[in-house]
Amino acid sequence: MATMTSSETEKIEGGRAKSFRLPPALISYLQAAPLALILGAFLLLPILMITVVSFWDYDFAQMYPDFLTMNYAETLGSWVTWKTYLNTLKFAFLVWAITLFVGFWVAYFLAFHIRTTAMQMVLFLVCTVPFLTSNIIRMISWIPVLGRNGLVNSTLISSGIISEPIEWLLYSDFAVVLAMVHLYTLFMVTPIFNTLMRIDRSLVEAARDAGATSWQTLTNVIIPLAKPGMAIGTIFVVTLVMADFSTVQVMSGGQSASVALMMKNQMSLLQYPAAAANAVVLLVLVLMMVAGILRIVDIRKEL
């Protein structure tokens, strides 16, 4: 009798459990599903499509599904591509070096020389104010400053320092780098500021106690500890510069080229497979650069 009752209750409880509960494994999959769907639909699928299309054939009007390595052969076999890649890498390096230098000192000033947290936040927000306008506007606003009859040239001429306007201020590599530094420095400031704020102030005191000068403290303690922030900033800046086409187009006045600009031109000529092949090559290059940065600096502590 007793055994029957207990098995009956088991049955009832078992039945109830089945109707209300999902297996735990399924629950985990369901929880992961939204992000997986979004990443799948908006990241993996497009990349997959680009990769597939990069092997297709095309003429002036149409694409033909196929499996050709022609697009890659054309892309990698052309000296124009190599020159463009080199030019893009040059921009990336220059912008990286300048934003790292400027970004570190801005972050250092904010983190170590501003005493109150309130003031730190205010100044940090001031840094972000330009970001309330669009990239394009901020870029274009350089034109009246740097142009032939722009602010800089007219000031220099009226003060008698030069007699002819400086030509290389606008529509030059200088203008491209300047605009990119302006656009991307904050991406360097933010992560470095974040790491610097996490440095225990007693470490600086300990260094001072051990007889370190300010410069020695900086090179032996602060910079090594800021490396993860610098690495994250570097990833931001390098990927942004490598993918940039509008800044290069506007600020160089069409005189300089970048990989993304080359792709844009290919697309406007309806050479989608060629652009896709170019995109895959660029993606691989950028991923390799990011992997290289991650190998040098361990950023896991920051995430």
Which chain residues interact with another protein by CB under 8 A?
Answer: 200, 202-203, 205-213, 216, 220-221, 224-225
Can you give the length of the chain in residues?
Answer: 303
Of the two residues 183 and 226, which places its CB atom closer to another protein in the complex?
A: 226
Task: Report helix angle 272-296 to 223-242, nearest 10.
Answer: 180
Q: Which residue type is seen at 208? A: R
CA distance 98 to 127: 17
Minimum distance from CB of 121 to another protein (Å)?
22
Of the two residues 69 and 220, which places its CB atom closer to another protein in the complex?
A: 220
Minimum distance from CB of 212 to another protein (Å)?
5
Of the two residues 128 and 216, which places its CB atom closer to another protein in the complex?
A: 216
Of the two residues 90 and 208, which places its CB atom closer to another protein in the complex?
A: 208
Minimum distance from CB of 216 to another protein (Å)?
5
Look up residue 205 and give its two tokens: 């005191």
DSSP-derived secondary structure for 178-244: HHHHHHHHHHHHHHHHHHHHHS-HHHHHHHHHTT--HHHHIIIIIHHHHHHHHHHHHHHHHHHHHT-
CA distance 257 to 34: 39
Minimum distance from CB of 97 to another protein (Å)?
23
Question: Does residue 108 contact residue 217 with C-beta atoms inside 8 Å?
Answer: no
CA distance 218 to 109: 12
Of the two residues 13 and 298, which places its CB atom closer to another protein in the complex?
A: 298
Residue 57 pairs with which residues in a beta bridge? 64
Q: Round the CA-based radius of gyration of the chain to a whole number and report it.
A: 28
Of the two residues 63 and 212, which places its CB atom closer to another protein in the complex?
A: 212
Dihedral angle sign, alpha carbons of residues 220, 221, 225, 231: negative
Minimum distance from CB of 302 to another protein (Å)?
13
Q: Which residue has the tokens 């529509």?
A: 171
Look up residue 255 and give its two tokens: 């005189």
Minimum distance from CB of 225 to another protein (Å)?
6
Of the two residues 217 and 234, which places its CB atom closer to another protein in the complex?
A: 217
Q: Which residue has the tokens 């005493």?
A: 115
DSSP-derived secondary structure for 118-167: HHHHHHHHHHHGGGGS-HHHHHHTTHHHHSTTSHHHHHHHHTTS-SS--S
Minimum distance from CB of 291 to another protein (Å)?
22
Of the two residues 212 and 267, which places its CB atom closer to another protein in the complex?
A: 212
